[in-house]
Structure 1
Amino acid sequence: MAEARLDKWLWAVRIFKTRSIAADACKKNRISVNNAPAKPSKVIKEGDIVSVRKPPITYSFEVLKTIDKRVGAKLVDEMRKNVTPASEYELLESARIGGFIDRAKGTGRPTKKDRRQIEDFSELTFFGDFDEDWDEE
């Protein structure tokens, strides 16, 4: 097979989980072939460079073989070559470190257990020992 549709190839080499997700990414201009935006029906050939923008980085793959049937995960490396620059992976690492992916326990929104402890504490403190006999003068 000398050529294949872009959305089928993206799905077949397991860059996207479904073909419809690959087609949607093309329609949203997240996919480019040889630095030009591409539609899902774009025909790709061996040697083309496909860029896939998945924030925060842009992955780049060289087409080694064009296929339109999904293959096993072990065979994917024969179909594509990852040519993503190392600087993109550094962006991914910095986003992972600075982002909320590895937030420390106890920071941010309280868990259900934390919320219950807060409610129990507030009931004891403010309403448990409430004295209705105020000294009004």
Structure 2
Amino acid sequence: MSTSARLDQWLWAARFYKSRPLAVNAIKNGRVQVNGQRAKPARQISEGDTLYICKQAGLEFDVVVLEAADKRVSASIAQTFYRETEESIARREALQEQMSAAKAMVDFPNRRPDKRDRRNIRAIKHHREE
């Protein structure tokens, strides 16, 4: 394997993003940092570099590059390209607990609305618009 790889190719190969254009867009928008600094998609990364990856609001990864690969491989092999820090794992677990607690607080209906329910919903919406 090579000792360095392009940042966008590595993010794609490590399966953080489904395509390279998505990885490039994330890098350009500042959602990926290398060693605490913003980077360009063509930046060369090597083993030992620390990456901060923000995929969604709250879904953040702090990883250390273990292998600088630029070829996409299976997910089980791709997980050997990096090591996630303990703080990052703890943050994601806390976020997961918050999400499950928030989901438990919402009362979802057991069934879809029938014709009578839809008529009542339309009446409420129509009444609010006026």
Alignment TM-score, normalising by the size of structure 1: 0.73
Query: Where do 1:108-123 residues align within 5 Å?
Result: 113-114=112-113, 116-119=115-118
Structure having the higher helix fraction is 2
Quick check: 1:62 aligned with 2:64? Answer: yes
Quick check: 1:106 aligned with 2:109? Answer: yes
- Cα distance change, pair 76–101 in 1 and its aligned pair in 2 (3 A): farther
| 1-structure distance, mates of 2:27, 2:37 | 11
Residue 23 of structure 1 deviates from its aligned partner by: 0.5
Cα RMSD after superposing both structures? 2.6
| 2-structure distance, mates of 1:73, 1:119 | 44
From 90, 97, 101, give the equivalent of 1:93. Answer: 97
| 1-structure distance, mates of 2:67, 2:49 | 10
- Aligned residue in 2 for 1:73: 75
Identity of matched residues, %: 30
- Cα distance change, pair 64–115 in 1 and its aligned pair in 2 (3 A): same
DSSP-derived class of the 1:14 partner: coil
| 2-structure distance, mates of 1:70, 1:8 | 8
Alignment TM-score, normalising by the size of structure 2: 0.77
| 1-structure distance, mates of 2:11, 2:118 | 50
TM superposition outliers: structure 1 runs of 4+ over 4 Å: 119-122
Number of residue pairs aligned between Structure 1 and Structure 2? 117
- Aligned residue in 1 for 2:49: 48
Moved more, 75-84 or 21-30: 75-84
| 1-structure distance, mates of 2:8, 2:100 | 29
| 2-structure distance, mates of 1:77, 1:39 | 23
Matched-pair contact (CA < 8 Å) for 1:56–1:95: no
Q: Whose relative contact order is higher, 1 or 2, with alpha carbons under 8 Å and at least 6 apart? A: 2
Q: Which runs of 5+ in 1 are unaligned?
A: 123-137
